[in-house]
Structure 1
Amino acid sequence: MPGASLSRWTLTYFACALACLVAAEALMVMGFGYPGAAIEAPETLILVHLVAIGWLSLLLCGALFQFVPVLVARPLLGEELPPVALAFVLLGLGVLLSGFAAMAGIIVVPLEVMPLGGLLLVIGFGLVIVSLGRTLWAARPLAMPARFVVVGLAALAATALFGESFALILSGLVGGEAALSLLLNGVPLHALLGLGGWMSFTAMGVSYRLLAMFMLAPETERFSTSIVLIIGTLTLVLIAAATPFAMAAGGGVGGMLLAAAVTGLCALGVYGSDMLALYRQRKRRNIELNAVAAIGAFAALLAAGLLLVFLLFAGSLPAHVGALTYLFAFGWLGGLGLAKLYKIVAFLTWLECFASVLGKRQTPRVQDLVDERHAAPWFGVYYAAVGLGTLTLLVDLALAFRFFAFMQLVATLAIIRHLYRSRELLNVPADLRRGFARPHPFWPQPIARKLP
């Protein structure tokens, strides 16, 4: 497979992302942040950024460092940048969260640390964009999935700049009517560019290739995929174009966001039909767990779209935006992330351990690295917990939400355990793994451990 060389730091990104996910879910179980606090409270901001930056963004960056070369059939340029970018992002996230904690009165640090944290994040994500952008630029003309990634990286840049602007305003270093208006009216733009543009649009583009590759479905570029790209990009342009209205406290923000909602739902509808076609046209009749579990993520995306339409018509979107965001972030993005991790970790481990001797001696299959029968129920528990948690948020049952958040945490830890077993080759029969080198679970280093 062209571009299938290993990205040395991808597993490190994944490990950091999963640690942030577990931390965020543990905070929800303890009642920290929304719904126990207001959605704009500093405690909620800690939770939101731990999920958005720590879990979803690090997960996506790690995946892109591995799969952008696959999308464009070229090696990654700037291979020295991923570890530096990871250090800046983790440090920036920690500093930013400490600023939010100071706002909540949890710790005592000057609020000026928030723009410092934002600056570190801008640098970190800027390095990600430079490395991936150079690789994409050198591979022109780009295939359709890679074009999604380009748009997603542009949305990442805009999201990071929005975040730094908010940090400067909250710290008091920047003031004025325009700044205050941006803070009051621009938060939805920041969230939509991040969750919808950087995370969702990029994940949609990569999923076209990964699902086709793992299910042996046709990888021909469809006209409908071009429609998704065009309409989705238009949606993000509409969101970004609302920024001047937000700064001027004009009434155009609502209209722009409504137009973006219409075009965005259209793009999601066409994307859903494309995914359905991939499942129907696959050559692999019995699909693997990663593809089955991804169906739950697509169902969550559909449910989030229907919930958005209902809330818009009912006029209750502001009151329930937290439930909608939770379903979108944990059901769609988080569910898809965990489902694909189940395959990607096994696939990368197989490449690292066995690809070099393929044809020279007997090796296990990628599927021999996983235990689908025991892992499958935990994906079901995860999606059930997210769905029921969303319902409790809609009807304001905070205590019940914490119970389902606990179910979600347990399911997540169980899935992580299966990822660890894949990485450690614990599911591989002893006669097939004997004598092979075993890599570190998440840290790039020379392979030194031999299996007995």
Structure 2
Amino acid sequence: MIGTSISRWSMTYFAMALAWLLAALVMMVAGIGYPAADLATPNTLVLVHVVCIGWLSLAMCGALFQFVPVLVAKPLFSEKWELPALALLSAGLVLLLAGFLSLGGRLPPALWLLPLGAVMLVGGFGLVVVDLGLTAWLRPAGPARFVLVGLASLCATAAFGAVFAFALAGCAGSAGEVILAEGIPLHAVAGLGGWLTLTAMGVSYRLLAMFMLSPDVDDQQSRWTLAAGAFAVAVTVAGGALAVGFASGLNVVLSISAILGLASAVLYGRDISGMFRLRKRRHLELNMRMATLSFASLAGTGLLGIALVSIDAFTEQIGAFAFLAIFGWLSGLVLAKLYKIVAFLTWLETYGPVMGRAPTPRVQDLVAEGRATKWFVIYYAAVWIGTVTLLIAEPNTFRIAAVAMIVGVVGIAREIVRIRRLADVAGPQRLPIGTVMPHLLYANP
């Protein structure tokens, strides 16, 4: 990474993402959306899109703008598109949420907000896809292939979402109504399974190799992992679209997709365990120890899905399944990696220019792992307890777990702010001559 340019706006993406995560958790505590309301209600649609777009997608975009150039050893296609993309995504999300609130009667009737918000989101994600896609296409090897498949899945997700928004506003005709009625599982699988999960897998390969001093995963192994995941998404999107068009039902398509998705998760677990086994850094830093809890949550999600299917309760408990996948696996991994990414990028930004010319701290000197550990433990424990409360239908206890999740996230966010302010760097090494205090929300030019 030395000599690699630092994304100017990644910190802004991360900050906004964390703000949306806290907003989602506050909504859960307040009883807005699932589990206090049915999964199909407008309130739950607000909650789901705050989490999936505001939190996970913005965090993922911020990470990709920094690390895709690292994956392919080429500069980003256009650094000027990062901020306009963020503006479009933020404005589009706010309009979409306002449209859902209007649909649910919480705001005056204004369903036109839904297609307007969808168009802005498509524009924002379009900038992201073109910028990152053209960058990764220059050298689509290893983890970059996961990113390309993830971006293709994002296109499918956005397309379904746009159709849904126009259909809810009464502007998509009979075909749009049919897609709205049958296509929500396709939208969810493309977004959570393709865009977020496959992209997270690809980025994690590179980050784990960097931070554990581990050899890269064998290219042939990762190809099989990607192939299973990509086929799962392709079967869902293409096969599901045909099934909807011919009114033949989605059960077979979704069953095949689930088997392929489970196979991809198992192969990913094999790849990750190999990296842990072959690492040169024997002592695991906090971000890696916490990432193992995310991998455990992914395994737990798979086992929970198998158990629910075996007792014919998957449909009834799909909310608990999705909660563990979103907050245990994806959100847990993103929080663990943000903690390290922010420290690493802050070190590069602040001390990289004077390295070799002045005494500088280590990356680990920017963090206080002993203090931060408790916040991650609180977060993961709350997620697992929250999953159990959803399975046993205890919404009041779930709210207590959501409060604990807020405590954990606020603690982690505070640690990230301290990293950006160099608050834990001792004495004269904090700002040697030639260095500049980093800005909280963006990187120095």
TM-score, normalised with respect to structure 2 = 0.97
Residues 67-112 of structure 1 show CA distances to partners (whole Å, capped at 9, x for unaligned) of: 0000000111111101000000000000000000001111114101
SS at match of 2:316: helix
Quote the Cα distance in structure 2 between the aligned partners of 1:321 and 1:410.
26
Q: Indicate if the aligned counterparts of 1:3 and 1:70 stay in contact, CA closer than 8 A.
A: no
Aligned residue in 2 for 1:450 = none
Of 121, 144, 147, which residue of structure 2 is paired with 1:146? 144
Aligned counterparts of 1:324 and 1:17: Cα–Cα separation in 2: 23
Query: 2: distance between equivalents of 1:3 and 1:189?
Result: 41
Matched-pair contact (CA < 8 Å) for 1:2–1:73: no
2:173 aligned counterpart, secondary structure: coil
Moved >6 Å (runs of 4+): none
1:194 aligns with 2:191: yes
Q: Secondary structure at the match of 1:437?
A: coil
State the match for 1:125 in structure 2.
Answer: 125
Pairs within 5 Å for 1:40-439:
40-137=40-137, 139-140=138-139, 142-176=140-174, 178-241=175-238, 242-251=240-249, 253-435=250-432, 436-439=435-438
Whole-angstrom distance in 1 between the partners of 2:87 and 2:12: 11
**SS of the residue aligned with 1:317?**
coil
The 2-side partners of 1:444 and 1:209 are apart by 22
Measured after TM superposition, the shift of residue 2 of structure 1 is: 6.7
Distance in 1 (CA, whole Å) between partners of 2:85 and 2:146 is 22
> 1:180, CA displacement in angstroms?
2.4
Give the match's secondary structure for 2:317: helix
Check conservation: 2:92, 2:118, Cα contact below 8 A: yes
Q: Provide the C-alpha distance between the structure 1 equivalents of 2:209 and 2:129, rounded to a whole number of angstroms.
A: 26
Shift of 1:311: 1.2
Alignment-mate amino acid for residue 142 of structure 2: M
CA offsets, 1:399-419, max 9 Å, x none?
000000000010000000000
Between the aligned partners of 1:3 and 1:401, the Cα distance in structure 2 is 47
Per-residue CA deviation, residues 230-276 of structure 1 (Å, 9 max, x unaligned), is 1111111101111121244322x110110010011011001001111
- Asked if structure 1 preserves the Cα contact closer than 8 Å seen for 2:17 and 2:55, the reply is yes
User: What is the aligned length?
Assistant: 442
- 1:307 and 1:90 map into 2 onto residues whose CA distance is 34
- Show CA shifts across 1:301-324 (max 9, x none): 000001111111211111111111
Q: Distance in 2 between matches of 1:322 and 1:349?
A: 37
| 1:277–1:117 distance in 2 versus 1, CA, 3 Å | same
Supply the distance in 1 between the matched residues of 2:205 and 2:431 (Cα, whole angstroms). Answer: 36
Residue 175 of structure 1 and its aligned partner are, at CA, apart by: 2.4
Q: Report if the CA contact (8 A) 2:10-2:442 is conserved.
A: no
Please list the CA deviations of residues 164-189 of structure 1 after superposition, one character each: whole Å capped at 9, or x if unmatched: 0000111111221x332211211011
Structure 2 CA distance for aligned equivalents of residues 379 and 246 of structure 1: 42
SS at match of 1:354: helix
Contact 1:232 1:263 in 2 (8 A): yes
Report if aligned partners of 1:98, 1:109 keep a CA contact under 8 Å in 2.
no
Length-normalised TM-score, structure 1: 0.96
1:380 alignment partner AA: V
Between the aligned partners of 1:424 and 1:248, the Cα distance in structure 2 is 58
* Distance (Å, rounded) in 2 between the aligned partners of 1:115 and 1:278: 45
1-side partners of 2:225 and 2:142: how far apart?
10
CA distance in 2, matches of 1:220, 1:406: 38
- CA, structure 1 residues 405+187, in 2 after alignment: closer, same or farther (shift >3 Å)? same
Which whole-Å CA distance do the structure 2 matches of 1:313 and 1:247 have between them? Answer: 29
RMSD across aligned positions (CA):
1.2
Q: Per-residue deviation at 1:431?
A: 1.8
The CA deviation string for residues 96-137 of structure 1, in whole angstroms up to 9 with x for no partner, is 000000011111141011011001000000000111111122
Distance 2:206 2:3 in 1: 13
Mean Cα displacement is larger for which, 241-250 or 113-122?
A: 241-250
